[in-house]
Amino acid sequence: MPDDVILGELDAAGRPIHDGPGRHLMLLCDWSPAAQRAIRETVTKHGRPDEITPSRLIWTTPKAPWTEILIHRDAVTIDDVRFPYTCAAHLEGVVKAEIKGKVLLNVYDLGWGVVVDRFRGRISVFSDREGVNLLIVDIVGKVAREGLTVADAQLMFKKGVLQVLEGSV
């Protein structure tokens, strides 16, 4: 598909899009405003995607710590009591990580949008904001490398998410 179709006629605030990041991205009208916001923010930070499909945009060479970033048209809804807020997770960040043994169970006990791929040595994290994904990666690393307990990780996550949502991080 060509990538010269604009990102819809209006931005998330209802203003016409004339210039700026995301203006020339191929994006179907059925993508949600939350997905469009994630695209604009990701394009601003990481540049144009390396791959564009009808259902996702993929950055294969983003800035560290990511090895890959994907924005999915169809969100995964995270509605778990262990996650501080309900979100439509369009944004997936992938990092290299070796998580093995008992630590793997602790990561699963966190209950966040984390998928461990032991065979490829990476984890994928899902949320609606890159700041939340970065926080998840940081805390999962502390659980894996420093032995941070699940209870302490949950507290750290709740405090960190509030800072991300307030824009102070």
Give the model confidence (pLDDT) of 58-102 as tens digits: 999 999 999 999 999 999 888 887 888 888 999 999 999 988 888
Q: State the residue range of the domain holding 106.
A: 51-166
Would the pLDDT of 11 be above 80?
no
Is residue 134 included in any domain, yes or no? yes
Residue 101, domain member (yes or no): yes
Q: How far is CA 134 from CA 1, 3, 7, 19, in A?
A: 31, 28, 26, 28
List Cβ neighbours of 71 (8 Å cut-off, separation of 6 or more): 35, 38, 39, 42, 49, 56, 57, 90, 91, 92
Q: Is residue 161 part of a domain?
A: yes
Confidence class of residue 27 from pLDDT cuts 50, 70 and 90? low
Q: Answer whether residue 27 is part of any domain.
A: no
Mean pLDDT of 135-141: 95
Q: What's the structural domain count of the chain? A: 1
Helix (H, G, I), strand (E, B) or coil at 35: helix
136 burial level (CB within 10 Å; 0-12, 13-18, 19+): buried
Any domain includes 12: no
Q: How many whole angstroms separate alpha carbon 144 and alpha carbon 154?
A: 14
Contact 61, 48 (CB under 8 A): no
Would residue 46 count as lying in a domain?
A: no
- Identify the pLDDT of residue 9: 47
Is 8 a residue whose pLDDT tops 50?
Answer: no
pTM of the complete model: 0.81
For residue range 96-116, list pLDDT tens digits in order. 998 888 888 888 888 888 999
Q: Is 82 inside a domain boundary? A: yes
Residue 7 inside a domain? The answer is no
| Mean of pLDDT values over 111-132 | 91
Mean pLDDT of 125-145: 94
**Cα(3)–Cα(24) distance, integer angstroms:** 7
Q: Residue 45: what pLDDT? A: 92
